[in-house]
Each structure stands twice: as C-alpha cells, then as structure tokens.
C-alpha cells in the first residue's frame, strides 16, 4: 500500500495554536513527576535518618546497661568537681562501653570539661551521640539527653540501680531525643530537667516534628512519646518510683527548689489589718487578713511531749495556749524532707547540733531564731519549714492592674495569670494544664487548684464567702472539692477564660506576747520567748514558704511583758492554702480580705 493510499494512517499534526498548551502540560507533568521522585527520595532519606536515630538510642541504652553490669549501677548525670559544681558528663563516663576507650583515655578528669586540654576534644564527639534526622544539628552537640531529676533514672550526681526502678524498666524513660541547643558541647555536664522535658513535649522537642519525643526506656525499647500521652502519664514515665526521689539519699532540700530571696521579716504588729495566729481555729474578722503556718503548732506539740504529752497549761490559761492545746497539727501531713523540729536544753551544744542539721538539710537557708539572744536557756524548742513550689512553666505577668475590692473601694494591685487572647498558644496550653477548676458556681464563687512542678503539693485558691474561722473555711472548701456543684462538669481551664491572681508577699515576725512570761503549770519554768517568722510569696513563678518557730523556757525571775464563659479573677476576698496531696491538714493558709499582703501597683 502506497503512502498515497487513503487507507494508510497518517501522523497527526498539531496546529500552531495547540502546540504551546501541549508543551506546557508536558512540562508540568515532568515537574510533577520530578517532584514525586524527589519526595520519594527525600522520604526515604528521612526514613533512613530516623532509623539511624533509633539505632543510636538503642546503642546508647545498651552501653548504659553494660555500664550497669560492670559497676552495679547506672552512671550519674554528672560528676561534681572540688567546687561542688558539675564538671564531667555521663557521656564521657560511657565512652569505654561505646568502643571509645582511646577517646576516654584522652579525657583528663583533673580539670573540668571545658578546661584547656578537654576543650580540644569538643570536635571529637562520637557519632552515636548525634541524630541525623533532628531539625537542629550542630557539630559537637548531642541530640540525646538524660532527663535529670531526683525522681528519674538520672538523680543528679547520684547513681540509680535497676532495683531502684520500682515503676519497671519498660515503663521508665532513660533518654530522650532533643535539639540540645542549650548545650555548648557533648562534654558539657548538662542535660534536660524533668519539668522542662514535659514542657518541650507540648511545645516542640527539637525533632523534625513538633510535639514528639523519641525516647528509649530502661529496657532498651525505643518509643515515640506524643502529645496524645497525658501529662500525668508522661510524668509517670519519667519517674522511677511514683514521683518519689531516689531513696537512700539525704536530699538537702525540696525538689525543684528555686532560688528565691524573700525579704527580711518585719514585726507583725506593723501589719495593722492582718491577724497572725499560730492555729487555724481563730475567727476571721471583717476587713482583716488571717495568716497561719503550722510551724508554731509543731513546736508547741514538741513542748507537750517534753512534759509527758499532756496539754501544756500556762498560768491564767490564756486563750492562745488553750487553742494550741485544743488544736494539733499532725506532722504526718508533711514530708520529712521539708521540715525540721527539735527540742532540748538550750545550750551551745544543742544549738551547734541544730545548726549542723540545718546546714545538711537546708544548706541555703539562713535561720534567724536558732540563737536569737546568744544566751543559754533551760528549754529550747525549734521548728523550721521550707516549701519551694515553682511552676513548670511560669504564668504571665499581667501589666493591667487588678482592682481588688476592699469593702466599697477598689485598690490596684499587681497580678499574674493567663492572658486573653493567648500570646503564645503552645506555652499557654501548658500553663492551662497547671490549672484545675475544682468547683464553679459563679464568677464570684469558685475553687481552683494550681499544680506546681512537684505535684506532691497543691496550691488551692477559693473565691468564696468566709466561714466563722479559717479552719471552718478550709473545711468547707475541701467539702466542695469532694462534692462539687452538680452543674459544674468541666474541670478544664479553657483557652477563652481569663485567670487573674494577685501577687502575694509577706515576711513577718510574730511575737506571741499573749503567752510570754506565763508560768508552765507543774514546772518551775516560764515561757521566756515565743516567736514565729513566716515568709511567703505567690507569683507567676510559683510559691515559696519559709517559716521558723521558737519557744524558750527559763526559770527564775519572770520579766514583765457566670453562666457562659467563666472568669477566674481574684478581685475580692479569697482563701489560699497549701496542702500536700492526700494530707488531712493544710500546713499554710491565708484569708485575703484586704491588699496589705499584696504588691501595690507602682506608678
């Protein structure tokens, strides 16, 4: 058949108008195909990098187990130097178990990690400490961090053992993957605090995908911890024993203690609108604050034990002594690590022993009442309490003043809380998780709880009408918590709801002149001194409470002497109390009737 045969198929020719459109379609198709190929290759690269990251976590975990098999314990998070500061990291201690004996031998432990010789090793970080799939990768900076805390597998300068991990190796996180941007070098003895790990999970961990924590548990299994895990469960995964600090260590002070400098105390009688009682059973008077701390009750109970446990009766039976005999604060409501109480003959030996115990248990504290008059006494009874309750993430400082109601007038005071609208959604979400609505009737009748970094303690605030006494008010609030308003079903603090809390600050020295100079019946002693110092602050960073109580006994001459969106704004009288979880009694409480304990707005 010839080419001229009409039955012979001929090639189609594009018209001049159609050619550009077809070329364009072909070009787009080529780009799409190329993009798909690039995406497939990129995804495969990412998958390979993530797999290497998991393999690195596993290798480090296996090396940690080999270290434990060799030494009978895991390495500490850091080794302290002669100055008492961290100088060497666990990453250096682990080198021989990663096949890096030669590098380990080059490290000199007689100088800190950043000493003139050791700093030369900064660029020799083993590849196993880095994650190629992390968003933030810097030469010589690790991507795998220990979660350091007194209740974690990395209890600071101490070593945990497998038998210490009562929550089980499979349920306890050992290492997490993070950006490590706060580190200068893999040699630096710094990692990540448990509270900050919790924060990073809900704001982005430094890995490629925010809201994830690649982690390895003590049994060597790698896992991806996501925001789907509740905060309580994540805290549990970081803990070796239900949130309790490593046993067998005399921890010097409360976990997560913040460095807060409280002002020196001033005489309590200078606070003309504030009552300070050593018990919670006194009356709440109209227009007046009420401050209570348990330290003096602890001292009084020690005094009773010194005389057989019977009520300590004073001549004339003053009301203050009668109430102290009637109401007892039971020390089972306080953890052992937050207080000290001692009684004995008030001589130099007793005071030296007391100072020594204080320096070991509370090394940064400077007690004022151990030896106030530099004299010996027949009897000295001393009690001390320290609670540092920082929030995992600080609340917002509110620059708009809070107008607090004092009777018919309003006084501007400084406040903190959560701003509306939220400025930083990720951070705000974490702040909101620290707030629990325990009961709500109206914007002027509600109870909330603030949860600090150490959930052992609770900060309860109640905007309610007071009962007759502080104790009755606390009891009524706790009853509401146990049986809240049946129409109150949402305990979650919502992003559209404002939270405004006045900053509180007090530092006072109360002399209980009501009992000073009174003879103790059945003895030849009289009360020569009775004092209590209470320092308290509540701010966007957390709560701090420090208190001392002293009783001295001597013989001889007695000297003379709404519906819809809720609002949680504490702009009217309210109660605040501190209590340990599952305890029966609050160890500190304030009824805030006026602004005398608040921070006035400075113009």
Cβ(212)–Cβ(205) below 8 Å: yes
Measuring CA to CA, which residue among 332, 351, 250 is closest to residue 294? 332
From 219, 223, 222, 215, select the one nearest 197 (Cα to Cα).
215
Share of the chain above pLDDT 90, in %: 52
Total of domains in the chain: 2
Q: Are residues 280 and 234 in the same domain?
A: no
CA-nearest of 458, 457, 475 to 466 is 475
| The predicted structure's pLDDT at residue 200 | 61
Average of pLDDT values for 126-140?
78
Residues 6+ apart with CB under 8 A from 163: none
Q: State the average pLDDT over residues 159-178.
A: 91
User: Does any domain span residue 427?
Assistant: no
Structure tokens at 387: 């609670």
State the average pLDDT over residues 226-251: 76
- The 574-580 sheet, strands edge to edge: 274-277, 289-293, 588-592, 574-580, 457-463, 445-450, 435-442
In this prediction, residue 309 has a pLDDT band, given cuts at 50, 70 and 90, of: confident
554: helix, strand or coil: strand
Residue 11 has pLDDT above 70, yes or no: no
Residues 232 and 296 in one domain: no
Residue 335 pLDDT exceeds 60: yes
Buried b / exposed e along 104-143 (16+ C-beta atoms within 10 A)? eeebeeeebbeeeebeebbeebbebbbbbbbeeeeebbbb
Of 130-144, 334-348, 529-543, minimum mean pLDDT range: 130-144
Evaluate the omega torsion of the peptide bond into residue 421 and state whether it is cis, within 30 degrees of 0. yes
Q: Of 236, 542, 577, 553, which is closest to residue 438 (Cα–Cα)?
A: 577
Inform me whether the pLDDT recorded for 314 exceeds 90.
yes
| Whether pLDDT at 337 is above 70 | yes
Average pLDDT score, the chain: 83
pLDDT for 211 equals 57
- 489: phi then psi, degrees, rounded to nearest 5: -115, -15
Which of 403-417, 449-463, 563-577 has the least mean pLDDT? Answer: 563-577
| Contact status, residue 496 vs residue 566, Cβ threshold 8 Å | no
| Secondary structure letter of residue 84 according to DSSP | S
Residue 80 pLDDT > 60:
yes
Is residue 312 one of the residues assigned to a domain? yes
Whole-number Å distance between alpha carbons of 600 and 317:
40
| Same domain assignment for residues 215 and 83 | yes
Residues 374 and 513 in one domain: yes
Contact 408, 214 (CB under 8 A): no
Distance CA 231, CA 214 (A): 16
pLDDT-derived band at 82 (thresholds 50, 70, 90) equals: confident
Distance CA 239, CA 150 (A): 9
The continuous run of DSSP H or E covering 438 comes out as strand 435-442
If asked whether residues 72 and 205 sit together in one domain, one would say yes
Q: What number of CA atoms fall less than 13 Å from residue 72's CA on the CB side? A: 0
User: Of 180, 214, 238, which marks where a domain is finished?
Assistant: 238
Average pLDDT over residues 205-234: 74
How many whole angstroms separate alpha carbon 202 and alpha carbon 183? 21
User: Would you say residue 368 lies in a domain?
Assistant: yes
For the chain, percent of residues with pLDDT exceeding 70: 82
Is the pTM of the predicted complex or chain greater than 0.75?
no
Are 150 and 218 members of one domain? yes
Tell me which residue range forms the domain holding 163: 35-112+129-238
- What are the pLDDT digits (tens) for 248-270? 776 654 443 444 567 889 999 99
**Domain match, 286 and 234 both:** no
Q: Please say which residue of 238, 267, 294 terminates a domain.
A: 238
The answer to whether position 43 is within a domain reads: yes
Q: How many angstroms separate the CA atoms of 452 and 391, rounded?
A: 4
- Whether 66 maps to a domain, the answer reads yes
Are residue 307 and residue 358 in the same domain, yes or no?
yes
DSSP state letter for 94: T
CA-based angle 563:564:566, to the nearest 5? Answer: 85
The residue among 213, 238, 263 that closes a domain is 238
Does the residue 79 lie in any domain?
yes
Do 65 and 147 lie in one domain? The reply is: yes
Spell out the alpha helix ranges (H) of 72-170: 90-93, 101-106
Distances (CA, A) of 415 to 8, 538, 546: 92, 10, 22
| pLDDT above 90 (res 601) | no
User: 57 and 190 share a domain?
Assistant: yes
Check residue 213 and give its pLDDT.
75
Sign of the dihedral defined by the CA atoms of residues 127, 128, 134, 138, in that order: negative
Say if 188 falls within a structural domain: yes
Same domain, 79 and 198: yes
Matching residue, tokens 């540092």: 388
Residues 167 and 74 placed together within one structural domain of the fold: yes
Residue 575 in any domain: the answer is: no
CA pair distance 216, 146, nearest whole angstrom: 10
């Amino acid at each position: 058949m010839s080419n001229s045969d009409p039955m012979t198929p001929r090639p189609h020719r594009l018209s001049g108008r159609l050619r550009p459109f077809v070329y364009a379609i072909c070009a787009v198709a080529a780009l799409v195909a190329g993009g798909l190929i690039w995406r497939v290759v990129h995804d495969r690269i990412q998958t390979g990098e993530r797999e290497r990251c998991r393999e690195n976590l596993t290798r480090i975990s296996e090396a940690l187990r080999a270290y434990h098999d060799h030494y009978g314990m895991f390495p500490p998070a850091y080794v302290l130097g002669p100055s008492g500061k961290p100088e060497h990291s666990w990453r250096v201690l682990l080198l021989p178990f990663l096949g890096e004996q030669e590098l380990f031998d080059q490290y000199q432990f007689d100088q800190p990690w950043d000493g003139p010789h050791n700093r030369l090793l900064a660029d020799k970080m083993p590849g196993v400490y880095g994650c190629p799939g992390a968003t933030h990768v810097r030469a010589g900076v690790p991507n795998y961090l220990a979660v350091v805390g007194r209740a974690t597998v990395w209890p600071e300068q101490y070593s945990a053992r497998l038998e210490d991990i009562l929550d089980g190796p499979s349920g306890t996180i050992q290492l997490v993957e993070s950006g490590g941007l706060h580190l200068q070098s893999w040699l630096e003895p710094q990692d990540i605090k448990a509270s900050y790990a919790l924060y990073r999970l809900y704001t982005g961990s430094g890995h490629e995908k925010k809201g994830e924590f690649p982690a390895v548990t003590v049994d060597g299994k790698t896992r991806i911890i996501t925001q789907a895990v509740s905060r309580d469960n994540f805290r549990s995964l970081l803990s070796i024993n239900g949130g309790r600090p490593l046993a067998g260590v005399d921890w010097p002070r409360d976990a997560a203690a913040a460095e807060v400098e409280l002002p020196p105390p001033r005489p309590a009688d200078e606070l003309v609108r504030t009552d300070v009682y050593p018990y919670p059973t006194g009356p709440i008077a109209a227009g007046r604050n009420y401050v209570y701390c348990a330290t003096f009750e602890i001292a009084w109970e020690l005094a009773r034990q010194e005389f057989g446990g019977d009520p300590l009766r004073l001549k004339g039976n003053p009301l203050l002594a009668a109430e102290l005999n009637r109401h007892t604060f039971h020390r089972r409501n306080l953890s052992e690590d937050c207080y000290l109480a001692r009684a004995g003959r008030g001589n130099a030996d007793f005071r030296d022993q007391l100072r020594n115990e204080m320096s070991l248990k509370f090394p940064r504290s400077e007690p004022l009442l151990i030896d106030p008059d530099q004299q010996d006494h027949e009897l000295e009874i001393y009690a001390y309490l320290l609670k540092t309750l920082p929030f995992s993430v600080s609340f917002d400082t509110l620059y708009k003043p809070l107008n607090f109601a004092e009777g018919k007038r309003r006084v501007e005071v400084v406040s903190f809380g959560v701003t509306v609208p939220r400025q930083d959604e990720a951070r705000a979400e974490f702040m909101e998780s620290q707030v629990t609505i325990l009961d709500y009737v109206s914007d002027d009748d509600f109870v909330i709880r603030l949860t600090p970094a150490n959930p052992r303690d609770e900060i309860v605030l109640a905007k309610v009408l007071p009962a007759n006494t502080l104790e009755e008010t606390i009891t009524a609030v706790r009853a509401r918590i146990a049986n809240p308003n049946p129409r109150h079903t949402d305990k979650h603090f919502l992003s559209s709801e404002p939270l405004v809390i006045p900053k509180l600050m007090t530092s006072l020295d109360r002399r209980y002149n009501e009992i000073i100079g009174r003879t103790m019946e059945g003895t030849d002693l009289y009360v020569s001194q009775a004092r209590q110092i209470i320092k308290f602050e509540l701010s966007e960073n957390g709560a701090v409470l420090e208190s001392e109580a002293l009783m001295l006994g001597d013989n001889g001459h007695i000297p003379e002497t709404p519906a819809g969106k809720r609002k949680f704004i504490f702009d009217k009288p309210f109660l605040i109390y501190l209590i340990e979880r599952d305890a029966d009694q609050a160890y500190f409480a304030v009824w805030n009737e006026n602004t005398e304990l608040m921070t006035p707005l400075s113009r």
